[in-house]
Structure 1
């Protein structure tokens, strides 16, 4: 597989290359090695490079007295995080734009750093007036509107803990998470717009609040432009479809408050500094299997990791504009806010759908807002690749310096399409893999270095990463478990009130080794590849194969646009493979029956992967079930196909597609 060199990027001009030179490292490889084994020196340099100011300097960078599973970072340090993110930029460049927003219908707003600082101070004062204080939990059930960033920052300013929820959740999913974290405030919108249609939220928010006795205030943001529909002082209001009692049988009582009431508060003039290890945010995993996990992130750890990754992997500068196609309930939303603002950059919040009203929408957004750093998923790239009007017009991407990509493994064809057809071979694709519990990335690409389609350059400095075989030994050129052998600041500080589950999830395989749950490989040239979740891996006659191998083989066929592979039980082989595909041009289907097409695709996979790995079935479906940020939900599809419980489907954008899979399930 050939490497590609983006022609518009010079390695020597990047912030990572300058970091290496400034702090006396020989080269990137030396930096990666030294960061792993001399972490104090490295992380002290990172804190300085990202410009983090301390109200009380820390005494020790890292304390491992409680073991690698429970590291203490920046011991006894205290910081005013909001001043680092907003205040100091507002003082230096008050008119600079902090947030650009574009709604589903094309409407837009801009907020300067000075205006954002004022709004955060007012909302923080309004929260204090409601009796919200340090350590209290504030649940955020909001679409991608500027108020979601303001609420996160206001919570941070008063030392409260914010919990961002996926905006597409229903009442039960919201209530389940509120009950777990015992939030006293729920912030919601009365609705939002998607594909030109109103999507209501307030009834679900009221129902969730009624079901949870901890909620004392429901703050309502008027996104629909018709008032908050239940303003301040509404008391123990029973909303439409609400359940009037908690699970314990006690009547729930809460007051509804218009967000504008908080905004009208007198600006809070007394910000506070909080300990580095104080909890900043809880962010829940999707919960498609079992109870959702409340991942704990801290005041220093999460923003340091986000800002470090944006400096080293994404070469973000203060005059750049960062946009990621995401929801605030996914890690990339808070990561963009806290990492981007740390650097004094501009962030773009986008409410709309990537292909509405057509596949050219994202290129228009990039052009309108001068986006320099644009992140999306490989699934979204495949969607755009198959659509009409999918290429940007001349000049539309003039501002764009690089693409970011996360969420899943690449196939080569979509990677090449984005790099060559869209990016004109000028812009690197920063492949970025990590997770909610990581606080950012484990592996990445680095601007200015040669790229291999779908690959990573290697570990982000500070991440001591290995690929290990079944015996726990590091391996090269073969697939194994992706593991981490040293702690890092962005590492989750456990799961909310569930230390045992945290230990079982990541630390139970080998002593003092974080097992991430991804299959990975380092090739002969030193490039890294991630082959999907190890619990998604299919084992056929004793041979482990990642679903991405089957999916890449299928999308290389001219008929197939997208593909998903799952493992199903087989008496002879232990497991066999069933695949699901979509096609872009249905006219091709008229050339022969689906049975013939299926046989052709089965043989095509056998030719690419070997005859023993031919799938048992290839099903044609209308749409692949995905989350709103474009991630394929393989485990949900497998459960639906086998007729078992698919778990919580609230994060699935198109639950009807799950029903289509269920209709094809094996019954005997």
Structure 2
């Protein structure tokens, strides 16, 4: 039993914000702002939404028929009109929208005018390929400006984008292409990583073998000599763009039309296609980028997340562009060519707001303070964290070594399904290392027991969201039952986050980790079922189970327990082959760091693998109730 389960208060450190933090505070007083929201939720969201431009105003702020919600009913809009034209009208035409820094030192700059023109022209190029409103376009690209152009061009013409992280393998890519019924795939010939060219086009070619919905493939060719294209099926990114008309009016979208599908790892096999819609997502992304990340007009803002994840969607692209901010993006990994590269980029580009993951922070901690101390980080104004709980030790290092104790540090909790921030410590509020913070105005959350009843201070429970919010997912693609499973059970009626948490006497919430079968590795959500399916698809494996094992740098690593087919010899080469097989199937992020061969796996009488028993044994703790274990 942990201290929190026993109700014992863990030691808490509180950093009260200096007076200068108050000038950044989004609300004069958090409690008053939160109570004002509770008194008039629709009025709160109406005021936020009114900052943005709508082709037609809504008839009603929301409709809530549990567990289904609609927001800004009958409103018409286009998110790119708010990301682009709105700023051209406000004298930001020549303001830098995007700085991009390639791994080899190549630099690209897009002003808002330049980005607007590129998005319109590529939107027309997609139309010329037969892409229309409601069609799905799969984007499988490295972190380059053209990826941003492709996403915005889809939204411009009313197409639905589904972005796939370029670290995934052919099988995972195929699942997402087939699951979304994608009509066109946009990719690149290769990506750059740690000085090496990583081919992407061959992965796409393999993924398309059983993907009949795909009619065309668009290839961004960066290699020299240019890669060959298959006539009539594959086309060059810039050739089709330059051949297209330059003016592309924004498609008028209903607030509830689909904007994108983003796949997140499932706990029962196939990944889930989370669907976000145009109006509510736009309002949530705008609100939280402005009020949580506190991005100001003169800031240079860097979110280190890959656009293939929800953080990249909301806070590397849509949120800051809705504000008219200057975004910084880079191909560079945090440790190449050395572990000073990110600090060097912060100095070079004068980064003001820096949003990154605990995994990166913990990696930097291993190398001490000398590397960041080589660079001038005085431009930093706000630090923020995302992806998994920010442990107190990482908070202290980030706050003192990088922020010099002068930058507010906001740890953010949210999910692919929520679309935008839900729980954090707003700038200007007291900070508690290890605690994400409180629900932001606009969010109603609590820590509850298995029956949905609030638990006492410092008692472990489940993090639950009890009221709808604009950026919430509308459904799981083609699977209403999966969507309902988030909200409904025999014991409760709330949105179940599947995270364990505690709450202190002041209402600050600490996220303890997942309660379901997802593993968060370096900020990436990996489904145990996906890893197990990949292992079992190898001819030597009869059964497999995967768990997350705590790791000082990555947060967790994947450990696999494998039952081999009878007669198979356990050799070091076999372990290498199994890891390589997972890598080829799912990509490098899902490769088990450890494989243990076993003769049997703990299962319930109904045959479900009890992964928590494996994890408890691995951690040397009591596995809890095992009465359902099949003897």
TM-score of the pair, normalised by structure 1: 0.77
C-alpha distance in 2 between matches for 1:314 and 1:528: 19
Aligned to 1:418: 398
Q: Secondary structure at the match of 1:404?
A: strand
Aligned to 1:47: 49
Cα distance, 1:228–1:341 mapped onto 2, change above 3 Å? farther
Q: By how many angstroms is 1:380 displaced?
A: 1.3
Aligned to 1:438: 418
Q: By how many angstroms is 1:263 displaced?
A: 3.8
C-alpha distance in 2 between matches for 1:508 and 1:167: 36
Deviation string for 1:141-181 (max 9, x for gaps)? 00110011101110011100000001111111111111111
The number of residues matched between the two structures is: 548
Q: Which runs of 5+ in 1 are unaligned?
A: 18-26, 236-253, 539-545, 548-576, 583-623, 625-629
C-alpha distance in 2 between matches for 1:29 and 1:209: 53
Cα distance, 1:537–1:150 mapped onto 2, change above 3 Å? closer
Aligned to 1:496: 477
C-alpha distance in 2 between matches for 1:581 and 1:282: 31
Q: Secondary structure at the match of 1:362?
A: helix
Say whether the 8 Å CA contact 2:267–2:518 is kept in structure 1.
Answer: no
C-alpha distance in 2 between matches for 1:63 and 1:290: 32
C-alpha distance in 2 between matches for 1:390 and 1:36: 47
Deviation string for 1:367-414 (max 9, x for gaps)? 222211111111211111002665423662121111111111222222
Q: Secondary structure at the match of 2:318?
A: helix
Q: By how many angstroms is 1:437 displaced?
A: 0.3
Aligned to 2:387: 407
Deviation string for 1:405-450 (max 9, x for gaps)? 1111222222111111221111121100110000012201111222
Aligned to 1:620: none
Q: Which sits farther off after the overlay, 507-516 or 144-153? A: 507-516
Q: Secondary structure at the match of 1:435?
A: coil
Aligned to 2:516: 535
Aligned to 1:480: 461
2:33 is aligned, of 18, 31, 34, to: 31
Corresponding position: 1:291 with 2:291: no
Say whether the 8 Å CA contact 2:167–2:589 is kept in structure 1.
Answer: no
Say whether the 8 Å CA contact 1:7–1:425 is kept in structure 2.
Answer: no
Q: By how many angstroms is 1:651 displaced?
A: 6.1
TM-score of the pair, normalised by structure 2: 0.81
Aligned to 1:57: 57
1:380 is aligned, of 335, 360, 370, to: 360
Say whether the 8 Å CA contact 1:358–1:389 is kept in structure 2.
Answer: no
Cα distance, 1:580–1:32 mapped onto 2, change above 3 Å? closer
CA RMSD of aligned residues (A): 2.7
Correspondence 1:544-559 to 2 at 5 A? none
Correspondence 1:246-257 to 2 at 5 A? 254-257=233-236
Q: Secondary structure at the match of 2:360?
A: helix
Q: Which runs of 5+ in 2 are unaligned?
A: 1-11, 522-546, 566-577, 602-631
Say whether the 8 Å CA contact 1:219–1:259 is kept in structure 2.
Answer: no
1:5 is aligned, of 12, 16, 19, to: 16
C-alpha distance in 1 between matches for 2:237 and 2:388: 39
Aligned to 1:616: none
Q: Secondary structure at the match of 1:157?
A: helix
C-alpha distance in 2 between matches for 1:385 and 1:421: 9
Q: By how many angstroms is 1:525 displaced?
A: 3.4
Deviation string for 1:175-230 (max 9, x for gaps)? 11111111000000000110000100011112222321111110001233543531
Cα distance, 1:509–1:386 mapped onto 2, change above 3 Å? farther
Say whether the 8 Å CA contact 2:564–2:597 is kept in structure 1.
Answer: no
Cα distance, 1:446–1:68 mapped onto 2, change above 3 Å? same
Deviation string for 1:123-142 (max 9, x for gaps)? 01111111110000000000
Deviation string for 1:507-546 (max 9, x for gaps)? 32545311111111111233211100112699xxxxxxx9
